[in-house]
Amino acid sequence: MCAVVDVIDQTRALVDGPCTGVPRTSVRFNELHLTKYRIKFPFSASTRVVRKAWTDAKIDEKWAESAWAKKIEARKKREEMTDFDRFKLGKARQVRNRIRTNAYFLIKKKVGARLFSKKKSPKAREAAKKVAAAKKEKKAAPKKETKKTEGKKAEKK
């Protein structure tokens, strides 16, 4: 992680990472990934000024708390796993999945009788009756005559 000290041209920037071991150098913008962390110091400031602003803003602590840093750390841990570690992880996942599956089927068994049966609950039956009655009333209501239908009726007579 480093700080952009100055913009050299439209494709390159001068960067410095005094607390992270990044030397002061020119880097292309397409090689950089910007973060939300921002520190204020003058353009082309010396490494000493950048280091002071970096420590005052506590950038290292904020970065360590971010999801991005945690994701990178998790990736490193996965890469460093031995064969035995991967085996233990697989077994732990099997145990977790068995527990999860058993819990799911217990819940489904308790709730499933009501959710997945064809019989409706009393409230659902009442709601269905109301909807059916409303549909019948709509069909039974007389149709309004419009100007177009009046003209057609007059022609038929």
Last residue of a domain, one of 37, 72, 107: 72
**pLDDT of residue 157 exceeding 60:** no
Give domain status of residue 142, yes or no.
no
Q: Please state whether the predicted TM-score (pTM) of the whole model is above 0.95.
A: no
55 and 94 in a single domain? The answer is: no
For 41-95, the pLDDT digits (tens) are: 999 999 999 999 999 999 999 999 999 999 999 999 999 999 999 999 999 999 9
Q: Is 53 left (phi over 0), alpha (psi -120 to 50) or beta?
A: alpha
Domain count within the chain:
2
Q: How far is CA 153 from the centre of its chain?
A: 62
Q: Where are the alpha helices (DSSP H) in 47-82?
A: 47-57, 59-65, 67-79
Residue 60 sits in a domain whose CATH number is: 2.30.30.30
Retrieve residue 26's tokens: 């020119």
52 and 93 in a single domain? The answer is: no
Structural domain that includes position 36: 3-72
In one letter, which amino acid is 102?
A: N
Least confident of 31-45, 86-100, 136-150: 136-150
pLDDT computed for residue 117 by the predictor = 62
Chain mean pLDDT for the chain: 87
Residue 147 CA neighbour count, 13 Å, CB half: 0
45 and 101 in a single domain? The answer is: no
12 and 65 in a single domain? The answer is: yes
For 16-31, the pLDDT digits (tens) are: 999 999 999 999 999 9
